[in-house]
Amino acid sequence: MDFTYDDEQKALQQAVRDLAGRNAPVEQQGDQPVGPAKHDPKVWSALAEMGLIALPFAEDLGGADASAVEVAIASAELGRARVATAYAEALVAAQAIALAGDDQQRKELLPPLLEGESLVVPALSEPGRAWSLDAYDVTASGAEGAVTLSGTKEPVPFADAAERFVVSARVGDKTGLFVVEASDAEVSGQRVKLSGTPAKALGALDDAPAALAAAVNLGILTVSAEALGAMDAALPMTVEYLKTRKQFGVPLAAFQTLTQRAADMYVSVELARSTVLFAAMRLAEDAGDSETASRLKAVTGQSGRHVGQEAIQLHGGIGMTAEYAVGHYTARLTAIEHTFGDTRHHLARLAAGLRDHEQVEVLAG
């Protein structure tokens, strides 16, 4: 096992860092907008131009033939600079199309998505329902070629900027994947209302669950790496603040109770880093390794919560403001925790599989 980046990966990291730096919110220039990220077509084009959306997909699909590892490298840089985009959502949609779609669907749908021309996002969450890969309340009906979907998906992040959706829907007692044109659905904010809306089945029904799981695994990796980047930024900001902020005539760093907690934050960040890098390598080999994805989400979820909360606390009041970056990192980490299933969801998934192994093995034989 080797956790170091090769030269190409280092170059990618630097390139994304530069790109993210150019598109990052400017610090100390008044209040930064709060709340869910909005789609910014300019930033999105920049990502696409650098080929970041295409990274993990095969060349014949319009991809860059890199892997999940490169996705994690890129996403961490976006997280570090607080550039929140539809990156994870687009990758989930693209992976679902790549894995479940038939040849024609891949040829038609993937290139414009990977090139940043038409945004496709997954529509999976259902109002009043806990996160699940199974659809319950959105149902599909009609024969092949004349399928329609009914029900509501919400929240669908970036729905208002998307051209089409990859929708999970109930078919009998199974969950299938469907492609819906945004113009055929009723979209308002993050809600997508479907009422007899025409849809195209994405590949065969029986392949859908595995494809969806693998697609969401890639999404989990992408947001977890973004969380790592956010933690990687929030920790040094906090350390710097402890060195410079003075109370009682001394820098806060003179209070051991605070420096020890910064040390605990460091521990959390490093554990998250190891887990992200490991999961990236694993998912690059086997996109369907949901156990690794769940373990990743649980570890980064707990680290993110710890680091986000402590970053604010050690800053005191200033950490609570919209003007100062640290609270925004915490807000983003909180959103990530609730994207693609929270820690508790993934722990439950892991709990269900405890009898399948005696110990967790990280070294592949």
Partner 1 sequence: MRLQLSEEDAAFQQQMREFFTTKVPADLRERWAAGGEPAADDIRLAQKTLNDAGLAVPHWPTEWGGQEWSQLQRHIYLQEMQAASVPPPLAFNANMVGPVIATFGSQEQKERFLPGTASLDIWWCQGFSEPNAGSDLASLRTSAVLEGDEWVVNGQKTWTTLGQHADWIFALVRTEPDAPKKQMGISFLLIDMKTPGITVRPIQLIDGGHEVNEVFFDNVRVPADQLVGERGQGWTIAKFLLGNERVGVAPVGSIKRKLADAKAYAAATKSGEGTLLDEPLVAARLAELESQVAALELTVLRVAGNSKEGKPDPASSILKLRGSQLQQDVLEFIVDIAGSASLEWASTSDSDGSDLATWTGHATPTYLNFRKASIYGGSNEVQRSIISSGILGLKG
Ligand X SMILES: Cc1cc2nc3c(=O)[nH]c(=O)nc-3n(C[C@H](O)[C@H](O)[C@H](O)COP(=O)(O)OP(=O)(O)OC[C@H]3O[C@@H](n4cnc5c(N)ncnc54)[C@H](O)[C@@H]3O)c2cc1C
Please report, as ranges, the residues that interact with ligand X according to CB under 6 A.
245, 247-248, 252, 255, 257-258, 313-314, 316-317, 320
Each as own residue / partner, the long-range contacts of residues 256-259 (CB below 8 Å, 24 or more positions apart, any chain) are 258/314
Using an 8 Å Cβ cutoff, are 215 and 96 in contact?
A: yes
172 binds partner 1 (CB under 8 A): no
Q: Which of 142, 189, 196, 353 binds partner 1 (CB under 8 A)?
A: 189
CA 324 distance to own-chain centroid: 24
The strand pairing partners of 121, in sequence order, are: 165
Q: How many residues in the shown chain lie near partner 1 by CB under 8 A?
A: 54
The one among 196, 236, 316, 353 contacting partner 1 by CB under 8 A: 316
Shortest reach from residue 286's CB to ligand X, in Å: 43
Q: If contact means CB under 5 to 8 A according to the sort of partner, which of partner 1, ligand X, none does residue 240 touch?
A: none
Among 59, 257, 355, 364, binds partner 1 (CB under 8 A): 257
Rounded to 10 deg, the angle between the 7-23 and 68-80 helix axes is 30
Which option in ligand X, partner 1, none does residue 335 bind, with CB closer than 5 to 8 A by kind? partner 1
CA atoms of 11 and 220, how far apart (whole Å): 24
Nearer to ligand X, 250 or 364 (CB): 250
Q: How far is the CB of 317 from ligand X (least distance, A)?
A: 3
Place of tokens 């131009």: 49
DSSP symbol at 319: G
Judged by CB, which is closer to ligand X: 191, or 245? Answer: 245
Least distance (Å) between residue 262 CB and partner 1: 13
In degrees and rounded to multiples of 5, residue 186 shows phi and psi of: -100, 105
- Are 67 and 9 in contact by the 8 Å Cβ rule? The answer is no
* Cβ neighbours, 10 Å, residue 255: 15
Say if CB 208 and CB 176 are below 8 A apart. Answer: yes
Residues of span 98-137 touching partner 1 by CB under 8 A:
125, 127-132, 134, 136
Question: Closest CB to partner 1 among 101 and 319?
Answer: 319
Cα angle value 157/160/162 (rounded, 5°) = 85
Residue 255 as a binder of partner 1 (CB under 8 A): the answer is yes
Q: Is 154 a residue that touches partner 1 (CB under 8 A)? A: yes
**Cα separation, 85 vs 75, whole angstroms:** 10
Question: Distance between CA atoms of 360 and 282, rounded to whole angstroms?
Answer: 14
Binding partner at 200 among ligand X, partner 1, none, C-beta below 5 to 8 Å by kind: none
Separation of first and last alpha carbons in the chain? 11
Count of CB atoms situated within 10 Å of the CB of 314: 23
In whole angstroms, what is the distance from residue 137 CA to residue 149 CA?
A: 10
Select 273 or 332, whichever has its Cβ closest to partner 1: 332
- Our CB check for ligand X shows the closer of 250 and 354 to be 250
Neighbouring C-beta atoms of residue 183, cutoff 10 Å: 8
Residue 150 interacts with partner 1 (CB under 8 A)? Answer: no
Residue 30 CB, shortest distance to partner 1, in Å, is 9
323 binds, among partner 1, ligand X, none (CB under 5 to 8 A by kind): partner 1
Which residue, among 91, 138, 118, 117, has the nearest Cα to 183 in the 3D structure?
A: 118
Q: Interaction with partner 1 in 317-356: which residues (CB under 8 A)?
A: 317, 319-323, 327-328, 330-331, 334-335, 338-339, 342-345, 347-348, 351
Residues within the interface to partner 1 (CB under 8 A): 31, 34-36, 125, 127-132, 134, 136, 152, 154-155, 157, 188-191, 246-249, 255, 257-258, 305, 309, 312-313, 316-317, 319-323, 327-328, 330-331, 334-335, 338-339, 342-345, 347-348, 351
